[in-house]
Amino acid sequence: MNVTHNEAFALLEKIDNILILTHRSPDGDAVGSMFALYYALKEMGKNVRCIIDTVSTALSFPVCEEAFTEFNEEYVVTVDVADKKLLTEETLSLYGDKVYLAIDHHEANKPFAENMLLDANASAACEVIFDMLEGAGKEISKKTAEALYLGVATDTGCFRYPNTTAHTLYVASELVSKGAPNGEINRIVFETKSRAYVQFETLAMNSLKTYFDGKCAVIVITQDMYKRTGTSEADTHSIAALPRQIEGVLAGVVIKEKKDGTYKVSVRTNEPVSAAEICETFGGGGHRLAAGCELSGRQTEVVNAVLKVIGEALKDI
Amino acid sequence: MNVTHNEAFALLEKIDNILILTHRSPDGDAVGSMFALYYALKEMGKNVRCIIDTVSTALSFPVCEEAFTEFNEEYVVTVDVADKKLLTEETLSLYGDKVYLAIDHHEANKPFAENMLLDANASAACEVIFDMLEGAGKEISKKTAEALYLGVATDTGCFRYPNTTAHTLYVASELVSKGAPNGEINRIVFETKSRAYVQFETLAMNSLKTYFDGKCAVIVITQDMYKRTGTSEADTHSIAALPRQIEGVLAGVVIKEKKDGTYKVSVRTNEPVSAAEICETFGGGGHRLAAGCELSGRQTEVVNAVLKVIGEALKDI
């Protein structure tokens, strides 16, 4: 059942002993929305715990050790999870069919929870949570504001992406006025590259190839590139933005080899190309201009399969 | 004489036949504040004209040809000019001592105008102009909002830099709600790199050297690099941000060879290092964490002179 922001808050007010889950390979919005909700519910006197995959160092500041103290949960809430398949293997098997409330912002959300608060106009799950807390008149603490800012900033590329609305900027303004240290968070998340990452980015840019008269640019990341530079997938999320940045590119693709030899594909597009449609062909999904999917096969097969679908999407442009 | 936002607006209301000037090598805030003020004054029924240096293609969208129609001005207004020496040679000699009103946001501003509206807490001259117009109850049109957004976004690195306050984000939210196409402007200004620029950036990153245990990183740009990649100084402003992005760097320096063989130095720092203090040593200035100066001499002499001052600044850290 779809619920409004106020209804979702009312549900949360009524329940206790809550477990919060988010998607695997957590990004800033997953971490931010999980800990923002954790702090807000703790401040309301609830027992709350979290289960989360490994968090990249740059995103770990709102993570609170106390959030992992075990107790038997009665209710499960997910944040920023568009599809239960995106939970970790363990949480999927334990809780996939027992989610009481899902809070999300993905247009391509596949409903799996008893109650769902979905706002596809929101830039981030953190924006949805802000609206829910503000709408309910709940005071937003500095810690909650900090976690919410992380999510909103991450999912908008620090307010660069076109999912940034006047409301998103209003939310960010409120969060900063409530004490979110935006300069410091931005510096850690967006302005700091390790030497290892700088080397990795150089290797990645060397692998860049363009197709279809420069309308498509593709970077292929191999496990060897992580090894040579001492990086890991979790540290290199931001590479996804690079191919689309080149002038004239309508579809920017990053194809990452995973440890098991399969491939994770992230697609960023400019209008009128839909990244979500391209990725849905392969059973993936996401937003109109930023989506993902997973493929298996040999590297050249994977690249060719992706290029074929993109070629179709670019055909009449 | 220092004037308040309201007093500055009252001065503008009283005068007519206005010439607007900004600093040479105009960045997004120079272009944005010039054209925002141009549109706002035109909407108030004034005769207004502008003189501006060559504008980089990426920043040219608010530029309006009509703004260059000549007539004999009665009053000169500068925007985003911290020191009259930053005017172009021609405008300095013609108007340097005849500025009626200067609107600026640089802490290190050296007063030169009859009246000065200076708000050093504002992220951008465009934020000062927004506050002046909003404070006076003047309706902000879509064209003015677009130009103002350009300046605020440029000077905050699209809301990444620590000069972004809650008020800055509020201003941005208002501008977007008044029709500034933020997604499109961000894509043009921040998310689009020409192939030439991508090549230039690779060359620049190859020249990067670190000093003082990695606390200082320096990139040297030569005229040859522009030639080899088909770029120019005006297209490569964003390079200034790169050295400071490397983990552990407190002072990031870009030294650019100019056509006349002298050097333009831009310094970006992290706390507790003051970029303004470093640049003031060489007669330059700017903000605490982002400043600039100009030096002449042979390349190695210039690099060593800058490193010596930075070494002093880093000594007790």
Band of pLDDT at residue A197, cut at 50, 70 and 90: confident
Name residue, tokens 């510096």.
Answer: A187
For B176, the closest of A165, A193, A205 (CB atoms) is A165
A259 has a pLDDT exceeding 80: yes
Q: Quick check: B158 and A161 CB within 8 A?
A: no
Residue B307's pLDDT band (boundaries 50, 70, 90)? very high
At B79 the pLDDT is 98
Looking at the complex, report in whole angstroms how far the Cα of residue B258 sits from the nearest Cα belonging to chain A. 26
- pLDDT tens sequence across A261-286: 999 999 999 999 999 999 999 999 98
Q: What percent of chain B has pLDDT over 90?
A: 82
A253 — pLDDT class (breaks 50, 70, 90): very high
Highest mean pLDDT among A2-16, A208-222, B230-244: A2-16
Q: Is a pLDDT exceeding 80 seen at residue A307?
A: yes
Q: What is the pLDDT of residue A9?
A: 98
- CB-CB under 8 Å, A194 with B247: yes
**Which residue pairs from B280-289 have beta carbons closer than 8 angstroms and sit at least 24 positions apart in sequence?**
B280/B108, B281/B309, B282/B306, B282/B309, B285/B82, B285/B83, B285/B106, B285/B108, B285/B110, B286/B82, B286/B106, B286/B108, B287/B106, B287/B107, B287/B108, B287/B163, B288/B107, B289/B161, B289/B162, B289/B163
B272 at interface of A, judged by CB pairs closer than 8 A:
no
HEC secondary structure over chain A: CECCHHHHHHHHHHCCCEEEECCCCCCHHHHHHHHHHHHHHHHCCCCEEEECCCCCHHHCCCCCHHHHCCCCCCEEEEECCCCHHHCCHHHHHHHCCCEEEEEECCCCCCCCCCEEEECCCCCCHHHHHHHHHHHCCCCCCHHHHHHHHHHHHHHCCCCCCCCCCHHHHHHHHHHHHCCCCHHHHHHHHCCCECHHHHHHHHHHHHCCEEECCCCEEEEEECHHHHHHHCCCHHHCHHHHHCHHHECCCCEEEEEEECCCCCEEEEEEECCCCCHHHHHHCCCCEECCCEEEEEECCCHHHHHHHHHHHHHHHHCCC
Q: What is the model's pLDDT at position A185? A: 96
Residue numbers in A near B190 (CB within 8 A): 160
Note the pTM of the prediction, 2 decimals. 0.82
Any idea of the CA torsion for A187, A42, A4, A53, to the nearest 10 degrees?
50
CA gap B158, A174 in Å, rounded: 17
Contact B162 A177 (CB under 8 A): no
| Closest CA in chain A for residue B174 | A166
Handedness of CA A296, A299, A300, A306 (dihedral sign): positive
pLDDT-wise least confident of A87-101, A117-131, A193-207, A240-254:
A193-207
Nearest-angstrom CA–CA distance, A177 and A179: 5
Average pLDDT over residues A102-126: 97
Residue B209 contacts A where some CB pair is shorter than 8 Å: no
* Residue B108 confidence (pLDDT): 87
For A119-174, the pLDDT digits (tens) are: 999 999 999 999 999 999 999 999 999 999 999 999 999 999 889 999 999 999 99
pLDDT of A205 reads 82
- Would you state the pLDDT for residue B222? 96
Contacts of B191 in chain A (CB under 8 A): 160, 241, 244-245
Q: Is B212 on the interface with A (CB under 8 A)?
A: no
Residue B77: φ, ψ to 5°: -120, 135
How confident is the model at residue B191, as a pLDDT?
A: 79
Lowest mean pLDDT among A19-28, A124-133, B54-63, B290-299: B54-63
Is pLDDT of B219 > 80? yes
CB-based burial label for A7 (10 Å; 0-12, 13-18, 19+) = middle
Please give the torsion angle defined by the CA atoms of residues B255, B257, B262 and B264, in that order, rounded to the nearest 10 degrees.
-40
Q: Are A302 and A266 in contact (CB under 8 A)?
A: no
Per-residue pLDDT tens digits for B225-253: 999 999 988 778 889 988 998 989 999 99
Whether B174 has its CB under 8 Å from any CB of chain A: the answer is yes
> Using 50, 70 and 90 to split pLDDT, how confident is the model at A199?
confident
Q: Does A246 score more than 80 pLDDT?
A: yes
Q: Which of A:110-169 have CB within 8 Å of B?
A: 158-169
Q: What is the residue type of B237?
A: H
Provide, as residue numbers in chain B, all residues whose Cβ is less than 8 Å from the Cβ of A245: 191-193
Q: Average pLDDT of A215-223? A: 96
Mean pLDDT of chain A: 94
What is the C-alpha R_g of chain A? 19
B184 near A CB under 8 A: yes
Number of neighbouring beta carbons within 10 Å of residue B31: 28
Query: Could you tell me the domains of chain B?
Result: 5-190 (3.90.1640.10), 195-314 (3.10.310.30)
Q: Which of B247, B268, B270, B271 is the best mutation test for A, with the most CBs of A within 10 A?
A: B247
Torsion from C-alpha of A21, A25, A28, A29, nearest 10 degrees: -50
Q: Which of residues 65-94 of B touch A (CB under 8 A)?
A: none
Size of interface A-B (CB pairs under 8 A): 108
Confidence of residue B86 (pLDDT cuts 50, 70, 90): very high
- Flag whether residue A213 sits within 8 Å of chain B, measured between CB atoms: no
pLDDT at B80 over 80: yes
Minimal Cα–Cα distance from A108 to chain B, Å?
A: 21
Mark yes or no for CB contact B198/A205 under 8 Å: yes
Is the Cβ pair A247, B165 closer than 8 Å?
no
The minimum CA-CA distance between B233 and chain A, rounded to whole Å, is 18
Contact B190 A160 (CB under 8 A): yes
What is the mean predicted confidence (pLDDT) over B256-273?
95
Q: What is the per-residue pLDDT across B140-180, written as a single tens digit (0 to 9) for each?
A: 999 999 999 999 999 999 999 889 999 999 999 999 999 99
pLDDT on residue B141: 98
Q: Which residues of B touch A182 (CB under 8 A)?
A: 159, 162, 164
Per the DSSP assignment, residues forming a β-bridge with B137 are none
A32-76 pLDDT, tens digit per residue, is 999 999 999 999 999 999 999 999 888 999 999 999 999 999 999
Give residue A114's pLDDT band: very low, low, confident or very high (50, 70, 90).
very high
Q: Of all residues in chain A, what percent carry a pLDDT higher than 70?
A: 100
Q: How many CB atoms neighbour CB B206 within 10 A? A: 10
A120 alpha carbon, distance to own chain's centre: 14
Can you give the pLDDT at residue B32?
98
